[in-house]
Amino acid sequence: MTDARLRHLLSVSDLCAESATGLLDAAEAFLEVSRRPVRKVPTLRGKTVINCFFEASTRTRTSFELAGKRLSADVVNVSASSSSTTKGETLRDTVKTLDAMHADVIVVRHGASGAPAYVAERTRASVVNAGDGTHEHPTQALLDAFTIRRTKGRIAGLKVAILGDIAHSRVARSNALLLPMLGAEVCVAGPRTLLPHDSAALGVRSYDRVEPALEGADVVMMLRIQRERQGVSLLPSLREYARQFGLSAQRLERAAPDAIVMHPGPMNRGVEIADDVADGPRSVVLAQVEAGVAVRMAVLYQCSQDPDERES
């Protein structure tokens, strides 16, 4: 029996097919907790989870916060705008400070790729990456995998098309690692300016038009156009993007008849996704949100095991 415990979750590459499946299985039980009349179990009583968000986030932060609270952990939120970062404190000193407060898990979102790994090297706590720059967002990939498995009944053998701003998307990167690990066939598509320079590095097929990617897809994953991460304008206009790359009901007809549509949120309605698709019967966007809490409960649970036991 392999050890399913996690020291840190910085990247999907910290997982293997078996440990990822173990997390998804555990998340099934945690999903049940969120649907009970009393949405709380005493499992992590006495553990401290610090949510350290150096970048704006509502859904991911709330999701981690609820996940910790439903496991009875003490959850503290630190956000960049109200933290001593604004007074000039370095990330290194922030980490040392939180470490001295005996955090068990530090959840880090940061605009700089690699920041969670930097934190992990400087604390005794377990570190969970909640999105770092254009690098990774492993819990998003896990919740996407969980949603796919619940709605389609499996992951292996499915054709998944990830469409949009691939180059700046940590969601795309994490999914391009996780879903093939679980047996799915993944391809990405977007305007050439928003594809990674070295798309072979993602290890998946890439297209500069959405039609060939959509053909027969079982899962269509839309990405947000991230205006905040593009230094220069890489798009002529949002209207042109919507016309050529946005997911309309008509374009969706190319996908498999029972294809599901996913979006990590927040959605730019009328840009990457049309209203009738976002609210349509194929959309599993809200199921993704529900899955997010369950998956994060599973991650916090496994990261909160006592270090001595964890290493033995």
Partner 1 sequence: MPTLLEAEASNRGLRRIAGEILERHPKPAELMLVAVRRGGLPVARGLADWLRELDGAEPSRGEVDITLYRDDAATALPNPRIGPSDIPGSVAGKVVILCDDVVFTGRTVRAAIDAVMDYGRPARIELCVLVDRGGRELPVQPDYCVLRAAVGAGDRVEVRDEPAGLLALQIAEGESSQP
* Closest CB 304 distance from partner 1, rounded Å: 6
Question: Which CB sits closer to partner 1, 240 or 306?
Answer: 306
**Whether 87 is catalytic:** yes
Do 51 and 61 contact (CB within 8 A), yes or no?
Answer: yes
The H-or-E segment that residue 250 falls in is: helix 249-252
- Which one of the listed residues 60, 123, 139, 147 is annotated catalytic? 60
* Closest CB 151 distance from partner 1, rounded Å: 18
Nearest to 59 by CA among 249, 264, 303: 264
34 backbone dihedrals φ, ψ, rounded to 5°: -70, -15
The residues facing 186 across adjacent strands are 160
- Alpha carbons 162 and 268: distance in angstroms, whole number: 16
Question: Which CB sits closer to partner 1, 48 or 134?
Answer: 48
Long-range contacts of 14-17 (CB under 8 A, 24+ apart): 14/138, 15/138, 15/178, 15/181, 16/181, 17/181, 17/182, 17/183
- Alpha carbons 84 and 18: distance in angstroms, whole number: 40
**Whether 45 is catalytic:** no
Do 160 and 218 contact (CB within 8 A), yes or no?
Answer: yes
Q: Which 8-state DSSP code applies to residue 224?
A: -
- Which one of the listed residues 7, 21, 43, 59 is annotated catalytic? 59
Question: Which CB sits closer to partner 1, 258 or 309?
Answer: 309
Question: Which CB sits closer to partner 1, 37 or 88?
Answer: 37
* Closest CB 311 distance from partner 1, rounded Å: 12
* Closest CB 283 distance from partner 1, rounded Å: 26
Q: What angle do CA 87, 104, 36 make, to 5 degrees?
A: 110
Query: Which residues of the chain form contacts with partner 1 (CB under 8 A)?
Result: 1-5, 22, 25-26, 28-30, 32-33, 36-38, 40-44, 46-47, 71, 301-302, 304-306, 309
Upper half-sphere CA count for residue 288 (Cβ side, 13 Å): 24
**Whether 59 is catalytic:** yes
* Closest CB 32 distance from partner 1, rounded Å: 5
Question: Which CB sits closer to partner 1, 32 or 279?
Answer: 32
- Which one of the listed residues 5, 109, 159, 170 is annotated catalytic? 109
Question: Which CB sits closer to partner 1, 49 or 235?
Answer: 49
Hunting for tokens 């979102």 — which residue is that?
109
**Whether 60 is catalytic:** yes
**Whether 135 is catalytic:** no
* Closest CB 235 distance from partner 1, rounded Å: 45
Number of neighbouring beta carbons within 10 Å of residue 28:
13
- Alpha carbons 123 and 118: distance in angstroms, whole number: 9
Q: Which residues are catalytic?
A: 59-60, 87, 109, 137
